[in-house]
Structure 1
Amino acid sequence: MYIAMNRFRVKPDCSEAFEQRWQNREVFLNTVPGFVSFQLLRGPEHDDHTLYASHTIWETHDAFIAWTQSEQFRQAHRHAGEGPSLTVGRPVFEGFDVLQELHA
């Protein structure tokens, strides 16, 4: 498995708008082979931002790469950068190969 995450530092007065932007978007992930799950995570609040992360799980790293090169990816990101900036800086990508997985 492969986990792909983007971390976002959201301006303090923009958290609600940021969450709405994600929750109201058109979703294409579930149409792509190899997609397992998605979570939008809200983390700690700091003086200048609230930390958020988008977290996707993929069957393989290759499945994730195929997503980033797909028409669905282009459609999902076609409005990126439109509207007022809700973040401090650009998102930070982090990718992980899953080495161990435990379940309840």
Structure 2
Amino acid sequence: MIVVANRVPVTKGCESEFEKRFDDRLSVVERMPGFIRNEILRPIVGDYYILMTHWESQETFEAWTQSEEFKQVHKNMAPKEMCPGPNGFEIHEVILVSERKP
């Protein structure tokens, strides 16, 4: 499994509008082969949101980035005033998972 993380700065006062941008997008990525989970982390301290997408493999993530669905959901990027950049982008392989046992 891999995790793709985007670190996105969001201007104060634009948080609600930024979050609404994902309402329709999530249903698109959820249908993609190899997709596992998406998390949007709102900052408690600071200005950066973290967008994390979990995929079965690097290949399934790359297939998503080459798909028409990806192009469609990314065609209307957030205005610079909302997300002044720079963004951080990282891909990590999951090597260990620890969860509380029921």
Fold conserved (TM > 0.5)?
yes
Q: Structure 1 residues 28, 9: CA separation in 2 closer, same or farther (over 3 Å shift)? A: same
Identity of aligned residues (%): 32
For 1:26 and 1:64, how far apart are their aligned partners in 2?
A: 15
Residues 23-42 of structure 1 correspond to what in structure 2 (within 5 A)?
Answer: 23-25=23-25, 27-42=27-42
Name which of 43, 49, 53 aligns with 1:52: 49
Q: Structure 1 residues 14, 4: CA separation in 2 closer, same or farther (over 3 Å shift)? A: same
Provide the residue aligned with 2:73 in structure 1.
76
Provide the residue aligned with 1:85 in structure 2.
81
For 1:4 and 1:26, how far apart are their aligned partners in 2?
A: 15
TM-score normalised by the chain length of structure 1: 0.83
TM-score normalised by the chain length of structure 2: 0.85
Higher strand share: 1
Give unpaired runs (5+ residues) of structure 1: none
Does 2:101 correspond to 1:101? no
Give unpaired runs (5+ residues) of structure 2: none
Structure 1 residue ranges (4+ consecutive) displaced by more than 6 angstroms after TM superposition: none
